[in-house]
Structure 1
């Protein structure tokens, strides 16, 4: 008889112990001053590094290594910045103006991010004492929209929290979510209790139990009201991390949920800057271009239009790499090789010889990716919505949005387009597999025009009750992420992101592997935030750089990997839970 997903016996605890023990290495912070442990494997003492991938992970690794005197070349097949980049919409600029600003999707920088802000503070920007970091602006509120119901403007931070205890956390969650319509009070209280259970769960239980159940299971969605299932379990999960609560690891969702709640209290010094921040101009102008320019000034070389297509293993180490793209195919040799590519491209490099050298890498083939892609609407009239993020809670395509023009420096109409566009409403589509309202089809079953029409229709249904915020006649044009393409065999997405399905932590690699001069970076690498985010990718680049330093026997300092906060106030409850978990007993609140 198999174990129920939420019933843990002594046998289950023993089986899960390996996962919990392996996870503790990631949970512990890495010192910036002390080199990591030496590997008994072959050493690689040279200092030339080839980085394949110029997204967040690749740029972060390049940053840490060039500052420590390494010879770094980054190979990027498409665009530096990866999914974090912005891009102009070609052909839309009028005289003296820039192209309208398009992007993969709007991004925000929660106060729980620590690695990304540290990197930003080390990138010079004219007039900014703290470099690119000073281009972040604080968001004070968000618009919550419901189907055919008047939208609500809410503060993003938890008000009135003066101390952090399990009871205060529980009460604060209840107070913050009272606005949800048709939600029974006892179910809201139950949700808050389950979140408190997460806050007081031990590391052993998080990695040994919660990793192996879904968020829907830990929140006991079965039998609850439609509002509980639609908003608390599904909508809050999808708009935050583009993850399906029916398949996502409860540990991953709980980790980011805890961090956001703590950031929202304003009481955690490490989570400074507010729960929600955005850039004050397009991402490339505010961050990526200054970053690339700074790295170039330090000596990093960028080869654009070329990506790794094969790795050659000889004598127990990587001897060379084949790169292909514009300009044909060439061979690259270096002392160290970092694969900072999306996981769906990394697996193509895992030859039988590489998997024989480190069989653990085969787990990457079982990781799952999903879609979260953006569309921008350029408007001739301001929407007059409050400044901040917009969440269409319960919308079929899990839409979130951001009014960008009011929070950007300068006059939008005078800077971009033909002068008639005054507003950019940037929208993220987080669910591509649920039928929409207008056509009754999923986003993956629609063409570009249909996607634009369907998204606009859902936004109007969720935001226009009692308002005239969104008017058809105000649309000047729209721009869908060019990574979405169509061919004879259907729709394609060039930029999927990892989703943390149940048990997927076991299949995710560390930055280093058994091959002493091969390393990995990207949102699929194990990290503290443990989610497909800029923060996780940035930390993975730091981890890859540290692995290079370890392999080279470098005596210098290591890049700091900033952990999430583990508050002492919960230590006693976690210690009790650790004992219960080892004894095969459930959490005290898991009733």
Structure 2
């Protein structure tokens, strides 16, 4: 099979072939002049020059696009239906704060910043934060203590926190060594060798093979999970897909899963990484990142219209003329602009594909082929901090593929002083990645459970892993309260839940259905984690990269002299270039990878 549509991942879009006389005359002194203008002057100049931009959506992609446009002198208005920050925002639990404390901090799901993120950290460095030399970026802390929890009496594997109170716990060390020995013995040597071989095959595969073959092979098939041991299927097939990226292993694109595995390994080796293997924010996302970002953008002249849903793209003269907006009260209005960046999630972007839009850009119809899944958060607020959990826990065998972080180990906050009613000492924040597998208490998938049943199931699944050797880690009396992501709502007619904020997932063959940032409509640009990006995964990094790509496409279309936005790519070890060139020739000849033993 040939690779669909254009360039491979990891390569930048080709620069515009035509360079205008105006841009040549402007020269390097004028490049980026909009960045140098004070915000009010930039907005006034933009208005005079017909450089108004409507950014549709205030999530990661929309804010990233607004940031780059504002720094280049464009007049930007962001229209957001719900709340700025999108899936990455904090969601305070209203009415829970008392005596001057803030409301308890809920969230769509905890924020995790792998070391191979480069675009998001660059943006963070340019967002001022009081007392921080590197802006919001200095609010990132390394994740240093993690636990892989198994159930059924098996020992867990713990990476202990170097500066943990009391130093290294001998019991933790004993359990970790035991767990490592158990895991090494659980997976047959032949299967370990098989997985190493499959990983080497992917590392040495050319882009031609990754797009032409691995894009169309499910991860389950690629790692040959059928008939393998239960532990091999759990760790290699299920956890690396459902636990990390919320996609099912039998339909997940090998190209995407393999690329993420490669990125984690390389960043762990310090190659192409902005920081360590993983980092997290030292406070709730809004406090540490989103609120300072919005303040900075307002200072640059960006306007925000929150509570305004984009209902339609209105066309005229072969372009987008305006957008029709509707607020919570049902009032409608139109907003015109010179340029439009569509940064709404894929499920909402599909709703904007009217016949008039598709007449101008028929290629956007393929958005309807993209698939979404659920990955949402649940927070347990605790009366005291549980022992032996560390910063992060992966509940490897949980039916719902739960991952959790203990916020007291990460946030620079005093819970009883800062949040709630004074009785909450900690927060165990969960991501639920599998909403389709039956749980252990009610025998129903999370999609079919009530909100209370979801909380009970998650609590039970954690205890099943942490208390399977007889010790008490999460006694029921420790629980103060809980909150589920409000995007999950019970829908009586269907006998289940609906999700207002699903996640785009990379299924086999999905690359060919994903749009580039520049569309066939000359003043419409796409941004979002479903747009083709180098990171190629529904993440904050992918959303940020897509916002940058949309701005660069807009600058080209506007024939702007402003400096183009830098876009970082995933690290590609040059040491493997020779093997990849050999593989490219073998692929074109219809032969397997040099290391493929099939």
Structure 2: how far apart are the matches of 1:239 and 1:131?
31
**Cα shift at 1:410:** 2.9
Query: What does residue 38 of structure 2 align with?
Result: none
Q: 1:452 aligned to 2:455?
A: yes
Structure 1: which 5+ residue stretches go unaligned? Answer: 1-11, 158-174
Query: What does residue 166 of structure 1 align with?
Result: none
CA contact (8 A) 1:150 1:464 kept: no
Match of 1:349, SS? Answer: coil
Query: What does residue 277 of structure 2 align with?
Result: 275
**Cα shift at 1:230:** 1.6
Structure 1: how far apart are the matches of 2:522 and 2:106?
40
Structure 2: how far apart are the matches of 1:37 and 1:299?
32
Q: 1:412 aligned to 2:418?
A: no
Query: What does residue 161 of structure 1 align with?
Result: none
Query: What does residue 106 of structure 1 align with?
Result: 110
Deviations 1:231-288 (A, max 9, x none): 211112211111111001100111111101111123x1x3031111000000000000
Match of 1:577, SS? Answer: helix
Structure 2: how far apart are the matches of 1:86 and 1:36?
39
Query: What does residue 312 of structure 2 align with?
Result: 310
RCO comparison, higher one (Cα < 8 Å, 6+): 1
TM-score, normalised with respect to structure 1: 0.90
Match of 2:226 among 222, 230, 239: 222
**Cα shift at 1:487:** 2.7
Aligned ranges 1:167-566 → 2 under 5 Å: 179=183, 182-266=186-270, 268=271, 270-326=272-328, 328-466=331-469, 467-490=471-494, 491-566=497-572
Match of 2:543, SS? Answer: helix
Structure 2: how far apart are the matches of 1:563 and 1:343?
23
Structure 2: how far apart are the matches of 1:457 and 1:38?
62
Query: What does residue 67 of structure 1 align with?
Result: 71
CA contact (8 A) 2:531 2:546 kept: yes
Query: What does residue 28 of structure 2 align with?
Result: none
Structure 1: how far apart are the matches of 2:180 and 2:521?
49
Structure 1: how far apart are the matches of 2:567 and 2:181?
33
Deviations 1:475-499 (A, max 9, x none): 0000000011123323110110001
Q: 1:28 aligned to 2:11?
A: yes
Match of 1:127, SS? Answer: coil
**RMSD of aligned residue pairs (Cα, Å):** 2.0
Deviations 1:299-322 (A, max 9, x none): 000001002111122111111110
CA contact (8 A) 1:181 1:227 kept: no
CA contact (8 A) 1:142 1:387 kept: yes
Structure 1: how far apart are the matches of 2:287 and 2:426?
18
- When residues 468 and 547 of structure 1 are mapped into structure 2, their CA distance, relative to the original with a 3 A threshold, is same
Match of 1:574, SS? Answer: helix
Match of 2:372, SS? Answer: strand
Query: What does residue 589 of structure 1 align with?
Result: 595
Structure 2: how far apart are the matches of 1:246 and 1:416?
42
TM-score, normalised with respect to structure 2: 0.89
CA contact (8 A) 1:46 1:552 kept: no
- When residues 176 and 561 of structure 1 are mapped into structure 2, their CA distance, relative to the original with a 3 A threshold, is farther
Structure 2: how far apart are the matches of 1:23 and 1:464?
50
- When residues 180 and 482 of structure 1 are mapped into structure 2, their CA distance, relative to the original with a 3 A threshold, is farther
Structure 2: how far apart are the matches of 1:150 and 1:223?
23
